[in-house]
Homo-oligomer: A and B are copies of this chain.
Amino acid sequence: MNRSNSGANLPALRSHNAALVLDLLRTAGDDGISRLELAERTGLTPQAVSKITARLRAEGTATEAGRRASTGGKPRTVLKLVPSAGHAIGLHLDRDELTAVLVDLAGTLVGVRTVPLDLGADHDTVVGAAAEQARSLIGGRPILGVGVASPGPLDHRTGVLHRVTGFPRWNGFPLRDALAARLGLPVVLDKDTNAAALGLALRGPADSFAYLHLGTGLGAGLVLDGTLLRGSRTGAGEFGHQTILLGGPACGCGARGCIEALCLMSVARGDIAAAARFLGVGAANLVGLLDIDRVLLGGRTVMGAQDGFVRGVKAVLEERARRGGDARAIPVSVAPGGPHAVAEGAARLILGPVFGHGAGR
């Protein structure tokens, strides 16, 4: 059941269990999963699973697809998700570019459109462009909703942008509601780093990780136990302005010794190893504080020197593990996913709740 302060009734119970089963079907992917395995994994009785899957099959969300080998009796019937039963739109509003994707229930990319965008243009132009790209991808399909990833800061719960760095015009603009009104669809807004992290979270099992994004700035998306951490004001993940060198070089934010400043200065000097070490120190702080399972790196700067960054961050974390007497250090790797990763993650803002991955906070 999802964490909440609200009471639960029978419809809530039903949709909770349905979402749980759907999530297992989604995770199973092309392998499929049998009714009995669903029963084991959910703790429900086989009969309850039969009823739930019958409903899902009736509405077209799931289907029978072959059977397993027998183990001495009737072989198990394999159930699979029907990815085409639902679609979601993901929009990535970047400073100079707009990426729109259409994905199916399984999260598979069905369509992409990328167009130049001037985030400095007026509200109507930008919202209009976003709506147009979304509509051109939909093509008459029933759509669950539209997820929008934008540079922060913003408020996820109200869907209002704050003072987006470099684009003061957007301060206070209710982007979510404006777009929802244009499209007549549910819209969810979140930070770009959060969308990226959510996309990564829904790829695997529910664990804890940090996604560190080094591009023109440095931000983080935090996933704890499979749930995106947004913080009280959608401000969580301000990783770039963590102080790691008191009295260090000045940062654009007005403070001194921020990771972002140290990293970017090293990158500007061409010293990837130094940048990676600074990033590693921040990652080590974060790993200690949150006790996460892994660290993922991404962003244009990282992608330009993947090995150097992974090696450098890994070295710092291994040093930390040795000091602590831990057998294994936290693994570091480059975040999977191509150039549309953020837009695909934005679509997961819509897909997540379908599979019981609640809104978080």
* A positions within 8 Å CB-CB of B: 1-10, 12-13, 16-17, 20, 41-44, 48, 163, 206-208, 220, 222, 224-225, 227, 229-239, 241-248, 253-255, 281, 284-286, 288-293, 320, 323-325, 358, 361
Closest beta carbon of chain B to A4's beta carbon, Å? 6
Identify whether the interface residues of A are mostly helix, strand, loop, or mixed: loop
A-B contact pairs, 30 of them (CB 8 A): A2-B3, A3-B227, A5-B20, A5-B41, A5-B42, A7-B17, A7-B20, A7-B43, A7-B44, A9-B48, A13-B13, A163-B325, A225-B232, A225-B361, A231-B291, A232-B291, A233-B291, A234-B291, A235-B288, A235-B291, A236-B290, A236-B291, A237-B291, A239-B288, A242-B289, A243-B244, A243-B284, A245-B246, A253-B324, A254-B323
Contacts of A238 in B (CB 8 A): 288-289, 291
State whether B6 touches A12 (Cβ < 8 A): no
When A2-B1, A238-B291 are in contact, do A9 and B285 touch as well, CB less than 8 Å?
Answer: no
Judge whether B281 and A42 touch: CB under 8 Å: no
B residues within 8 A CB of A291?
Answer: 230-238
**Given A225-B361, A291-B230 in contact, is the A6-B320 Cβ separation under 8 Å?**
no
Partner of A207 from the list B6, B232, B247 (CB cut-off 8 Å) is: B232
Nearest 6 pairs of A and B residues by beta carbon: A1-B1, A231-B291, A235-B291, A7-B42, A7-B44, A238-B288
